[in-house]
Structure 1
Amino acid sequence: MKITKLFAVLTLLFIGSLKAHSQTKTGQVYLIRVTGYTGMAINYRFFIDDKLVCKMKNKLYSIHDLPVGEHTVTINSGGISNGKKSAPLKIVVAEGKINYVNVFSTQAGYSNKITCQEITKDSADPLLAKAKQKTDCAAE
């Protein structure tokens, strides 16, 4: 009887340790949109690795957990758009670390050009203070 209980306990411990080791290591990416007046009423679509992760209007940011490794961030504008995405931005996500990606919108004639750039925490903090977190990205 003691051997059966001991075997059962050891089996449960072994299974538990396998689950702990199989968990994917993750980091976070903050997608920030504080673009001023340029295109402020238009949704921007944020893509990570060519997958739509969020649509955001101005003065918003969203937080996404990503597996450790290299990822590509692109953006395109909603409304009347040519469907082209911004130039891809490569980011490297490290375990337990935060990456900050900011959107820049520049006006050239009658069209807007949107790009994204990875920024530091010190640069992100003032932008995050002006923005509100969007938590319902998955609902879109």
Structure 2
Amino acid sequence: MILLHRKWLLILLILLSFTTLIKAQTTKADETGKIYFLRSSGWGGTFSNFKFYIDDKFVCKAKYKRYSIHEVPSGRHNLKLQYGNKDLKTFKNGMPYIEVQVESAKSLYYELVYETGLFTTLIYFKEIDENTAKEKMKQMKENTSCL
């Protein structure tokens, strides 16, 4: 009788551990979001040494008419743009980075924008909505190598 109870207890513990493991994997997948970087305007060729960073980590070169997709944990992240090895301090808010909030299973879309004036060029990130991004991405290619 005691042996029978031990077998059922063992089976129950094994089942519980499997369900816990499956739930943990599902929950982990739901705790990430995506950041899309688009570069649909500006110059190609020599003037394309722009690099995207997430939380001070290089993630991709900003190639002309390309977009890249980056999966990140949900929460706050800093996005930064560099030209060569120099941070660009030309964001609309005057900061060398922008702070974004990534929500689970959601996507954020940021476009690299060039504004040229008589004596200056302003280069910064601009958040765009999903429909606008998807429309622009039809004319672009995904940058999967990011080098």
User: Matches of 1:117 and 1:16 in 2, distance apart?
Assistant: 44
Spell out, residue by residue over 1:57-100, the C-alpha distance to the aligned partner (whole angstroms, 9 max, x if none). Answer: 1011111111111111111123xx6x123432222111111111
Spell out, residue by residue over 1:27-76, the C-alpha distance to the aligned partner (whole angstroms, 9 max, x if none). Answer: 111111111xx332213210011111111310111111111111111111
Task: Give the C-alpha shift of residue 128 in structure 1.
Answer: 0.7
Whether the 8 Å contact between 2:112 and 2:125 is mirrored in structure 1 is yes
- Is the aligned partner of 1:131 residue 2:134? no
User: Matches of 1:136 and 1:6 in 2, distance apart?
Assistant: 52
**TM-score computed with the length of structure 1 as normaliser:** 0.79
Whether the 8 Å contact between 2:79 and 2:97 is mirrored in structure 1 is yes
Residue 12 of structure 2 aligns with which residue? 10
Corresponding residue SS for 2:144:
coil
Residues 1:85 and 1:11: Cα distance change in structure 2 (over 3 Å): farther
Whether the 8 Å contact between 1:60 and 1:133 is mirrored in structure 2 is yes
**Structure 2 portions without partners, runs of 5+:** 90-95
**Structure 1 portions without partners, runs of 5+:** none
Residues 1:31 and 1:6: Cα distance change in structure 2 (over 3 Å): farther
Whether the 8 Å contact between 2:79 and 2:100 is mirrored in structure 1 is yes
Percent sequence identity over matched residues? Answer: 27
Match of 2:56 among 31, 41, 50: 50
**TM-score computed with the length of structure 2 as normaliser:** 0.76
Residue 92 of structure 2 aligns with which residue? none
Residues 1:130 and 1:7: Cα distance change in structure 2 (over 3 Å): same
Whether the 8 Å contact between 1:76 and 1:114 is mirrored in structure 2 is no
- Cα RMSD of the aligned pairs, angstroms, is 2.4
- Moved beyond 6 Å, runs of 4+: none
Whether the 8 Å contact between 2:80 and 2:87 is mirrored in structure 1 is no
- Is the aligned partner of 1:89 residue 2:101? no
* Bigger Rg over Cα: 2
- Is the aligned partner of 1:29 residue 2:35? yes
Q: How many correspondences in the alignment? A: 133
